[in-house]
């Protein structure tokens, strides 16, 4: 059987109308019962009061002393009956013989109903319901006392239950109009409520909202940026796992949702965005001991700021990407230069062969091959990781293209296997230091274009040393070289991240970096990192 699918608006209308109808039905039933109960109670009390009033009338008492009480009582009882609208006003003696009745042929006969005993025997006034000669009726009965307080008769005033029911129906019918009016108002309210809810949720169905929620959660957790959203009071409404990790390094059990953003980020400017409604892009911010790049954007609906979203990413990651892009450009330039260099060598070999200098060509090829093979063999033997060996081979080629003497110390040895991520960090550290050294010696005299590097295992540390014969580091900038954005090479927006990134990575591994001037023009950098970096 095919499942019936109802739209949200239809569901709201149906449920609202059903609720209204059920409430009105319950109220109608309760009201009807109350009307019936109250009406019968009031009619019974009215009948009793009429009976009591009639029982104490002097004319009634005088009539009881006559030989034929009916002559006085019958007309009087009929007058009372017509004035109060009762069905009957029956007055009888102590034996229950009628002195009055709406029908004359029933005078002198015994009263019917069997409810006179409490009145005649006990002298109590009562309200009862019984079947008489006129049918089922609601009666008020009161005793008639003589001068000695003895019961000498009874007054019974009655209203037919059939008439009472007709009056009840009339009252209920009068309620139908306001009930219908309430139903119409309820229907209109249901349509308005469903339309308003539909508008507030942008016309989406519940399953669409659920799908959007799941997609939002998946999207938030799939991005590498930390994301935090706050409402207009500055309380956190959304936060992804990346943001939690950046904000809270020690515990992932803190409940961020609902907290004021200032309690989580004391130095945040997102409150400023909420107040001004202006976005802030690519701003640096310190979270703990880590720099991040953040964007803050207001959420605006119908011209009003209802919240703000902040996204941020570790600056170290961005710096690394920039450095990798820079390295790729360097490698591309190196390959181009290497291609040019090998082309020149091929032309040299071609010229020697054309001149018939075969032996000289072979010797030239052998010298180039032996030199390259020796370096590759040395690196493969002394450095365990092939990526790190390939890195140094690339740097050797780059130095050769720049006519710089690049020497790898014969004491170099790194024989332990390293984790993949750690190799990338090592390459970033060593690559930045070597590039700085190449820049420093590039414009020196030919005999001073020299760099020496040393890489070693030292107990529980990895030691790297690079010495250049370059321009050195002036005293006035020694305190600034590890500052992010500081550079002596021009535009700080494109440079000034190398040594800052090196310093960040060294701190990541609880290592040390130092530099000093040797006994010649230039600088020596030494880096120590703990070996178990993949803990």
Three state DSSP letters for 353-392: HHCCCHHHHHHHHHHHHHHHHHHHHHHHHHECCHHHHHHH
DSSP state for residue 3 in the 8-state scheme: P
pLDDT at 488: 58
Q: Which positions of the chain have pLDDT values less than 50?
A: 1, 249-252, 420-421, 491-496, 533-535
Specify if 263 maps to a domain. yes
Query: Contact, 433 vs 515, CB < 8 A?
Result: no
Residues 365 and 308 in one domain: no
Query: Contact, 227 vs 239, CB < 8 A?
Result: yes
Specify if 301 maps to a domain. yes
CA atoms 35, 38, 41, 45: torsion sign: negative
Residues 117 and 229 in one domain: no
Residues 243 and 151 in one domain: no
Question: What CATH number should be reported for the domain holding residue 289?
Answer: 3.30.450.20
Q: Is 326 helix (H, G, I), strand (E, B) or coil?
A: helix
Residues 269 and 363 in one domain: no
Structural domain of residue 309, as residue ranges? 224-313
Residues 138 and 28 in one domain: yes
Residues 15 and 113 in one domain: yes
Taking each helix axis from N to C end, the angle separating 386-401 and 420-441, rounded to the nearest 10 degrees, works out to 10
Domain boundary among the residues 313, 329, 345 is at 313
Query: Contact, 384 vs 414, CB < 8 A?
Result: yes
Residues 46 and 127 in one domain: yes
Residues 381 and 501 in one domain: yes
450-458 and 405-408 beta bridge pairing: parallel
Give the span between the Cα atoms of 271 and 413, in whole angstroms: 54
Specify if 520 maps to a domain. yes
- Provide DSSP, 174-232: HHHHHHHHHHHHHHHHHHHHHHHHHHHTTT--HHHHHHHHHHHHHHHHHSSSEEEEEET
Specify if 428 maps to a domain. yes
Residues 309 and 365 in one domain: no
Residues 362 and 509 in one domain: yes
Terminal CA-to-CA distance of the chain, rounded, Å? 59
pLDDT at 421: 47
Residues 155 and 295 in one domain: no
Q: What is the tally of structural domains in the chain?
A: 3
Please give the order of strands across the beta sheet that includes 512-516. 405-408, 450-458, 461-468, 523-530, 512-516
Residues, the chain, total?
535
What would the pLDDT profile of 233-287 be if each residue is shown by its tens digit?
A: 888 888 888 788 777 644 445 678 888 888 888 778 888 888 888 888 888 777 7
Strand partners, 297: 309
Residues 118 and 265 in one domain: no
Domain boundary among the residues 127, 143, 167 is at 167
Strand partners, 236: 230
Closest CA to 212 of 220, 231, 229: 220
Specify if 52 maps to a domain. yes
Domain boundary among the residues 133, 149, 167 is at 167
Buried b (16+ CB within 10 A) or exposed e, 188-199: eebeeebeeebe
Specify if 460 maps to a domain. yes
pLDDT at 289: 67
What would the pLDDT profile of 427-480 be if each residue is shown by its tens digit?
A: 888 888 998 898 889 877 777 788 999 998 877 788 999 999 988 888 888 888
Give the span between the Cα atoms of 139 and 131, in whole angstroms: 10
Taking each helix axis from N to C end, the angle separating 358-382 and 386-401, rounded to the nearest 10 degrees, works out to 140
Closest CA to 346 of 365, 322, 366, 331: 365
Give the span between the Cα atoms of 284 and 300, in whole angstroms: 24
Specify if 468 maps to a domain. yes
- Count the Cβ atoms, other than its own, within 10 Å of residue 101: 25
Specify if 211 maps to a domain. no
Tell me which residue has tokens 């030292």: 458
């Amino acid at each position: 059987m095919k499942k019936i699918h109802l739209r949200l608006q239809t569901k709201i209308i149906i449920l609202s109308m059903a609720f209204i109808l059920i409430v009105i039905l319950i109220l109608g039933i309760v009201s009807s019962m109350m009307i019936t109960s109250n009406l019968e109670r009031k009619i019974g009390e009215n009948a009793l009061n009429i009976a009591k009033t009639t029982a104490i009338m002097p004319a009634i008492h005088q009539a009881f002393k006559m030989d034929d009480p009916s002559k006085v009582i019958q007309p009087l009882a009929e007058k009372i009956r017509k004035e109060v609208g009762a069905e009957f006003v029956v007055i009888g003696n102590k034996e229950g013989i009628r002195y009055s009745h709406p029908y004359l042929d029933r005078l002198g006969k015994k009263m019917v109903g069997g409810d006179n005993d409490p009145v005649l025997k006990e002298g109590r006034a009562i309200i009862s319901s019984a079947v008489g000669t006129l049918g089922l009726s609601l009666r008020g009965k009161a005793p008639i006392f003589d001068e000695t307080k003895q019961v000498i008769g009874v007054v019974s005033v009655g209203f037919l239950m059939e008439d009472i029911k007709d009056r009840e129906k009339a009252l209920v019918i009068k309620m139908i109009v306001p009930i219908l009016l309430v139903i119409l108002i309820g229907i209109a309210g249901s349509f308005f409520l469903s339309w308003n809810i539909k508008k507030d949720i942008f016309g989406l169905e519940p399953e669409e909202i659920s799908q959007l929620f799941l997609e939002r959660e998946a999207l938030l957790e799939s991005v590498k940026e930390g994301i935090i959203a706050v409402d207009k009071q500055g309380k956190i409404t959304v936060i992804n796992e990346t943001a939690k990790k950046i904000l809270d390094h020690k515990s992932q059990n803190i409940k961020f949702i609902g907290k004021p953003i200032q309690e989580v980020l004391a130095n945040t400017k997102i409150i400023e965005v909420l107040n001004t409604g202006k976005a802030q892009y690519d701003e640096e911010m310190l979270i703990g001991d880590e720099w991040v790049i953040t964007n803050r954007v207001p959420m605006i609906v119908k011209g009003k700021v209802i919240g703000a979203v902040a996204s941020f990413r570790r600056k170290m990651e961005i710096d690394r990407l920039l450095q990798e892009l820079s390295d790729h450009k360097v490698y591309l330039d190196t390959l181009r230069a290497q291609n040019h260099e090998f082309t020149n060598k091929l032309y040299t070999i071609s010229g020697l062969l054309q001149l018939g200098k075969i032996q000289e060509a072979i010797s030239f090829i052998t010298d180039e091959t032996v030199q390259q093979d020796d370096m590759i063999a040395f690196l493969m033997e002394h450095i365990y990781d092939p990526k790190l060996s390939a890195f140094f081979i690339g740097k050797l080629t780059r130095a050769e293209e720049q006519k710089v003497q690049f020497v790898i110390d014969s004491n170099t040895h790194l024989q332990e296997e390293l984790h993949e991520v750690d190799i990338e960090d090592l390459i970033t550290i060593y690559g930045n230091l070597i590039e700085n050294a190449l820049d420093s010696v590039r414009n020196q005299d030919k005999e001073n274009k020299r760099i020496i590097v040393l890489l070693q295992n030292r107990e529980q540390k990895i030691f790297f040393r690079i010495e250049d014969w370059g321009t050195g580091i002036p005293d006035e900038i020694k305190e600034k070289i590890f500052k992010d954005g500081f550079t002596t090479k021009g535009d700080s927006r494109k440079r000034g991240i190398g040594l800052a990134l090196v310093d960040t990575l060294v701190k990541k591994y609880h290592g040390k970096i130092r530099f000093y001037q040797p006994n010649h023009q230039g600088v020596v950098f030494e880096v120590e990192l703990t070996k178990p970096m993949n803990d």
